[in-house]
């Protein structure tokens, strides 16, 4: 049954509840990662997407298991939304053999091919050519797949972005370029790096449709992504979506955020928190009561806690594992 919330994808009330729970799982996962890093239980670095949950959940929920994604250094949410096991993800961060990458990839390289997750990438903009290649592969083989390539605003300044969009346009591959514009590339504000009002305008240079949306508005994310996916499935070529959002935390765990004001951060957290906005959407539409939402939030928290507990007690990676999986066997 179609939801009381008007949406192009024909999602049900139950779908919206699932998405809401997923948004909390993404947030709780990253909050737990931040906590574990502070305790010294996880090493290396990490990039949190707290404040950007609507973009990941809203896009990932619309994909089929057979569809593919490529992700970024800030990609925990994308992986969760695509169905990657949170236990395996957490095990990867702990450096466990049961991790998505056998404990060798860490936070920036989560991948799970069985779920259509072709991998996150620590190199800014590196996902663009991978996504176009994957989409071309599906096209040549006649496979009914769509590829979503996630990237940040800063990645659109990389040469790989322009090269990939040009080829994607020429070949009309089934790809969707989803740009999460969280206002900052590390410590540089977007208007210091780009002299155009909207990043989506860049798509026009390559004959592609480009749109800019409110990335914290779940319906805007769902409807626009659905349109892009449907067009790609029909063979009508790729599309670029620029989703305006905001990361509540720093670029990475060492970022003190001295380049932006506390007032700016507070305004986004109080007025534009995607989870709060989704709660308001669900309650105002009578899709869920506050009590139901609390239960979903609680379940999300328990799911993340369970993932941490199971991952932490799993088998550690050994030094002897260093030389394995170097060559195909």
Number of domains in the chain: 1
Give residue 78's pLDDT.
98
Does 8 fall in a domain?
no
Has residue 143 been placed in a domain?
yes
Task: Show the CA angle centred on residue 210, arms to residues 205 and 213, nearest 5°.
Answer: 145
Q: Is residue 321 part of a domain?
A: no
CA–CA gap between residue 200 and residue 154 (Å, rounded):
13
How buried is residue 103: exposed, middle or buried, by Cβ count under 10 Å (0-12/13-18/19+)?
A: buried
191 confidence band (pLDDT: 50, 70, 90): confident
pTM of the model: 0.96
In a domain, 324, yes or no: no
Mean pLDDT confidence for 7-16: 97
Residue 208 placed within a domain: yes
Q: Torsion-angle region of residue 133: left (phi > 0), alpha (psi -120 to 50) or beta?
A: alpha
Q: Does 7 map to a domain?
A: no
CATH number at residue 197: 3.40.50.970
- Residues 18-72 have pLDDT tens digits of 999 999 999 999 999 999 999 999 998 899 999 999 999 999 999 999 999 999 9
For residue 249, give the 3-state DSSP assignment: coil
Q: How far apart are CA 172 and CA 165, in angstroms?
A: 10
Give the span between the Cα atoms of 261 and 29, in whole angstroms: 26
Tokens of 183: 């206002």
**2 occurs within a structural domain:** no
Q: pLDDT by residue (tens digit) across 128-140?
A: 999 999 999 999 9
Tokens of 196: 């155009």
Is 198 inside any structural domain? yes
Kindly report, residue by residue over 140-188, the tens digit of the pLDDT. Answer: 999 999 999 999 999 999 999 999 999 999 999 999 999 999 999 888 8
Mapping DSSP onto H, E and C, the string for 193-231 reads HCCCCCHHHHHHHHCCEEEEEECCCHHHHHHHHHHHHHH
Residues spanned by the domain of 215: 13-314
Q: pLDDT per residue over 228-267, tens digit each?
A: 999 999 999 999 999 999 999 988 888 789 899 999 999 9
The contacts of residue 118 (CB under 8 Å, 6+ apart) are: 68, 69, 70, 111, 130, 131, 134, 147
| Lookup result for tokens 């540089």 | 188
């Amino acid at each position: 049954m179609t939801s009381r919330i008007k949406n192009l994808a024909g999602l049900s009330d139950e779908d919206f509840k699932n998405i809401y729970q997923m948004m909390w799982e993404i947030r709780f996962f990253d909050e737990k990662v931040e906590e574990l890093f502070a305790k010294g239980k996880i090493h290396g670095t990490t990039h949190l997407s707290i404040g950007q949950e609507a973009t990941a959940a809203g896009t990932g929920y619309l994909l089929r298991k057979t569809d593919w994604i490529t992700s970024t250094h800030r990609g925990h949410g994308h992986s969760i939304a695509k169905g990657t096991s949170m236990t395996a993800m957490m095990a990867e961060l702990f450096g466990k053999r049961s991790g998505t990458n056998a404990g060798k990839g860490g936070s920036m390289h989560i991948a799970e091919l069985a779920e259509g997750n072709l991998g996150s990438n620590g190199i800014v903009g590196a996902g663009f050519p991978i996504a176009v290649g994957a989409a071309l592969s599906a096209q040549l083989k006649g496979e009914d797949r769509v590829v979503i390539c996630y990237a940040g605003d800063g990645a659109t300044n990389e040469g790989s972005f322009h090269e990939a969009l040009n080829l994607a346009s020429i070949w009309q591959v089934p790809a969707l370029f989803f740009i999460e514009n969280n206002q900052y590339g590390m410590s540089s504000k977007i208007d210091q790096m780009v002299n155009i009002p909207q990043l989506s305008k860049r798509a026009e240079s390559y004959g592609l449709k480009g749109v800019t949306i409110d990335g914290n508005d779940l319906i805007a994310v769902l409807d626009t992504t659905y349109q892009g996916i449907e067009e790609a499935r029909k063979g009508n070529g790729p599309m670029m979506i620029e989703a305006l959002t905001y990361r509540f935390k720093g670029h990475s765990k060492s970022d003190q955020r001295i380049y932006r004001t506390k007032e700016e951060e507070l305004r986004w957290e109080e007025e534009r928190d995607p989870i709060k906005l989704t709660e308001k959407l669900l309650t105002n539409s009578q899709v869920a009561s506050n009590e139901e939402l609390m239960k979903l939030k609680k379940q999300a928290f328990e799911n993340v806690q369970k993932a941490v507990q199971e991952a932490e007690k799993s088998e550690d990676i050994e030094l002897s594992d260093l030389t394995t999986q170097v060559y195909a066997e």
